[in-house]
Amino acid sequence: MEVHQVTTKSGNKVVATFWKHPFARFTLLYSHGNAADLGQMVDLFIELRAHLRVNIMSYDYSGYGASTGKPSESNTYHDIEAVYNCLRSEYEIQQEEMILYGQSVGSGPTLYLASRLKRLRGVVLHSAILSGIRVLYPVKMTFWFDIYKNLDRIRHVACPVLVIHGTKDEVVNMSHGKRLWELSKDKYDPLWVKGGGHCNLETYPEYIKHLRKFINAMEKLALKNPPTKELDDEPRNNETKHNCCLSFKKK
């Protein structure tokens, strides 16, 4: 495991960890849920790396774990952008070699970045939300003060989208996952985990099985459409291109 400290355009220092698999074809950029941090995710990352044969890059949002700053919607967007740029600069990983994974609130920064990357290999939405307000109230319209407006951003994601949701999710109703899947341009077979809640889907055997199936499908797709030479369409404007990715610890 390699540990990085990246500087966001907000000036925050965000801690990220990179778990390398020697035979990985893809890298998961994993955005965890609101009630988690990197320390709690270690066992899952070890399992995902082994069973899926992927690299994993994850990070703690500003104000979480050892990351500085305060939690906010805009900071999570700056956080994932900085971590993405670290993957590009430190590991030379291209869009076509990357799968964005968002769990619960992590679906917000995931879809923010995915909507801006047109050659991304895939997206996984795990217990994802339609928007912040819709978790509390089943409103029909989008309010200007709402946060994480995934309902709007999913329409701009060009790559295959896998949706995973529990049928007994006690925090984010399954209707969120179903609607996001319906709105996806490139739908992959969803996984509705029978009896699954909000924080226990990883304990069901079909979780890893379906993820492995998705990764295999993306590998076949990559053979048909191999990575192309990078064009200058990255989210690297004047605000983000000077981000620092410092590797300060290896285990």
Which residue numbers are catalytic?
Answer: 104, 169, 198
Question: Which amino acid is present at 156?
Answer: H
Measured between alpha carbons, how far is 40 from 7 in angstroms, rounded to an integer?
23
**Alpha-helix runs per DSSP H in 115-154:** 132-136, 150-153
Of 46, 59, 218, 200, the closest CA to residue 123 belongs to 218
What's the CA gap between 84 and 8, in Å, rounded? 11
Q: In 32-158, where do the E strands start and end?
A: 55-59, 98-103, 122-126
Is 241 in a helix, a strand, or coil? coil
All residues at 6 or more sequence positions from 192 whose CB lies less than 8 Å from its CB, including other chains: 165, 166, 167, 174, 177
- Specify the 3-state DSSP secondary structure of 26: coil
Q: For residues 210 and 213, give the distance between their C-alpha atoms in angstroms, rounded to a whole number.
A: 5
Is residue 227 within 8 Å of residue 97, measured between CB atoms? yes
Q: Cβ of 186: how many Cβ atoms within 10 Å?
A: 11
List, in sequence order, every residue forming a beta bridge with 25; answer none if it has no partner.
none
What DSSP designation does 225 have?
S
